[in-house]
Structure 1
């Protein structure tokens, strides 16, 4: 499964603010910025209008940082919407691939299924797959990190450290905080595309 047909541009903020705007239009924007997250969509729909996408992300940050706003299962739903680090590349969007250290050209090749993985890439993927299982067994949700263009191999020691030296509460907060950083970075990339 590829995401070649997934939207790659944000609708104008005025379209999202329009009282006649459908929830699916807002959901597309949320998916581009945060991954598909129904609790975020519902909250943002009730908080319209927004001056900008930056304001929309700011509102999401406030929403996610207040523990009283979400049930535990909703937090898990939001965190688990993110792809696993090291997930098969065919299942990732071009934006996710770029965030995980691939060039835009390589990301386009991968999305169109023409890239051949290197041996190092396969070894990194296998290591990350094992760490994902360990992390999820310990914490009960997916590992989320703001990769910020670093190669996936550089995430391995970060993941190992977080497995060995963190708590479930810390990890949930870190995941939600990193989701905001990811959304801000995606917005910059989408605005320059």
Structure 2
């Protein structure tokens, strides 16, 4: 995906299904469940900006989170779970690799602590991975946030925070991936 640039926003509805999926993958993370949810939206809606597109996908995710249907919740968790674990060595998307690079600068002790926090988080919130917009924050600050979210133990709030983080990350990526 390196060197990938987002097409002009007004071209998105006319893109092929594969090209629209590539746009979603670049903004969010590669995820079949997100394709199923949002590919049609990108085909039928006209957006003024990538920010508008991301906000519309965010609304779809919020709708899933507010649904009483178990299958909607599982679907949402699949999408939220597509994000790589924080601090993981093998990360699929070029965007996540770049975003997480600064988190992999601490020593082995910190890396172990982060792995343990990831495991505890996923045990507390089955089906989810901790998603946060790192945005230049240090590993200790991120781990403190993760710890407080685990201690809070509120799955609904967790999904809401993950949706917001995914949209913040996507907005940041959109700026970096647009043609200049």
Deviation, structure 1 residue 43: 4.8
Deviation, structure 1 residue 173: 1.0
Deviation, structure 1 residue 7: 6.1
> 1:110: which partner in 2?
none
Runs of 4+ in 1 over 4 A off after TM superposition: none
CA RMSD for the aligned pairs? 2.6
> TM-score, normalization: structure 1?
0.77
Task: Give yes or no for contact 1:57–1:183 (8 Å, CA) kept in 2.
Answer: yes
* Residues 1:56 and 2:53 are matched in the alignment: yes
Matches within 5 A, 1:130-145: 130-140=116-126, 141-145=128-132
* Residues 1:176 and 2:170 are matched in the alignment: no
CA distance in 2, matches of 1:152, 1:43: 37
Task: Give yes or no for contact 2:42–2:53 (8 Å, CA) kept in 1.
Answer: no
Count of residues in Structure 1 that have an aligned counterpart in Structure 2:
172
Alpha-carbon distance change, 151 to 100 in structure 1, aligned in 2, over 3 angstroms: farther
Gaps of 5+ in 2: none
* Residues 1:129 and 2:123 are matched in the alignment: no
Alpha-carbon distance change, 173 to 43 in structure 1, aligned in 2, over 3 angstroms: farther
> 2:4: which partner in 1?
8
- Larger RCO, structures 1/2 (Cα 8 Å, 6+ apart): 2
> 1:42: which partner in 2?
39
> 2:91: which partner in 1?
91
Task: Give yes or no for contact 1:84–1:132 (8 Å, CA) kept in 2.
Answer: yes
Deviation, structure 1 residue 127: 1.4
Deviation, structure 1 residue 77: 1.1
Deviations 1:66-104 (A, max 9, x none): 22498011101110111110111x42434223323639x
Deviations 1:44-80 (A, max 9, x none): 2354222221221121122222224980111011101
Deviations 1:107-141 (A, max 9, x none): xxxxxxxxxx76x3433222111111111111111
Deviation, structure 1 residue 9: 1.6
Gaps of 5+ in 1: 104-116
